[in-house]
Structure 1
Amino acid sequence: MSQVLELRNAIKTIDNGMNETKTILDKVNLTINQGNFVTVLGGNGAGKSTLFNTIAGTINLTEGQLFIKNEAITHFSEEKRAKYFSRVFQDPKMGTAPRMTVAENLLLALYRGQRRTLKRRKLNEQRDYFTKICSEVGNGLENHLDTPTGNLSGGQRQALSLLMATLTKPELLLLDEHTAALDPKTSKQLMVLTEQRIKEANLTCLMITHRMEDALNYGNRLIVLKKGKIIKDLTKEEKEKLTIQDLLLFFEEESEAFSLE
């Protein structure tokens, strides 16, 4: 199985004022292979968002190295890394252009990473395809191809963000608590769509979630972050033995171990 992402001894520290430094990522070593669907759990301040931001290039590592398919990209800019990654954020307003229609947003995503030239955008030629993939969402998005994205509901907009992120196959799909801002019913619908899109294209995915049920029910691997360290890295078989109560033990302030019993 080919390797997609590798973090080697990744360290991120920040100046905490008063000549103090705080370690956000603490010698993180992580390898993700092709086809892995990894769910990420951790409490506030565990380093989840920092992990994603250092992968995407939003912030730079203090020490350590980052590789994509064995290519060192540690010093690549966020723009240069964009061809490898697609990301769906927690806020439905991020990841889409609000004044552009659903079809126009999808067209942008379709040509992601391609050289921009002065040519016809060929929107009409793609309408049947866009209608087809939007109809698979199940929330009426196919009826809004000509609707400005800013007029969509939060669930529709987040579903559109997911479609855009998976329209062209990224090396790694980053899902940054992408269901957190949605109500339970809409969140469940989006997770079904998420799994469908990942399986159909055999995508490699790293998903932060605060919903423990999703951490147990989705993905073939689970990593748990605490104080900037990966304290558990569980296979699908190990994860299937866990209950939500086991996961809750991790979030107890005085619990230093993650119970697998």
Structure 2
Amino acid sequence: MSDIHLYTAATPNGIKISILLEELGLPYKVTAINLTENTQKEPWFLEINPNGRIPALTDTFTDGKPIRLFESGSIMQYLTDRYDTEHKVSYPKGSREYYEVNNWLMWQMGGLGPMQGQLNHFNLYTPEKIEYGINRYKNETRRLYRTLETQLKSSTSGYVVGDRCTSADIACWGWVASAKWAGIDMAEFPVLHQWVERLLKRPGLEKGRHVPSKDIYEALQNITEEQKEAAAVGTRKWIQDGMKEDAK
């Protein structure tokens, strides 16, 4: 029996875990973390994740004692290894597909997320526009999108690995779904766009993407550059203040 408590926010990394929990049909508690108020830097949260980032998760381990999990990929591996005994969204440990899912999960963690995150930073959150940074990270994000699109083109199921939706799909979905925010034109990636839309039809993903607050995928599709700029103003100050604090 799980005793899962998820600490999260409405970000591409945050919704990975709530989507996976919903796909697995697991009961869980949620604490919404207000990033702009730096709740993730408070001592009680640092006891769960010493890195001061979301998502984080606690559970009762098999020995009856609490266990803490942080880093979204680590949390996803824990949940599938421990709870997906029927392999609804995973493959048996040791199988070829198990390691292929890990390939794409690590690819997202080490590539897609960081590169698109840096694109967001240089495109929206720096005090002044730095074209080199914008171009560097936009081109790298587009390259990564092409990599994922190529993988999906070779898939007979429409999923990243094998015949089912897995952590590989779930981990990537929130990032690709927020392409418009990053300034990526999905017309360049029609197969990837179809994959995003197809996954929206999954009840688990549809429910999980709205935890802890409503997902803005639909609203993003028609957002203008002026609206993005207006929405980024408050976040820009918070990010710049945080960078100064972290530099101390």
Determine which structure has more spread, i.e. the larger CA radius of gyration: 1
Structure with bigger strand share is: 1
Structure with bigger helix share is: 2
Range class of TM-score, shorter chain: 0.3 to 0.5
TM-score, length basis structure 1: 0.32
TM-score, length basis structure 2: 0.33
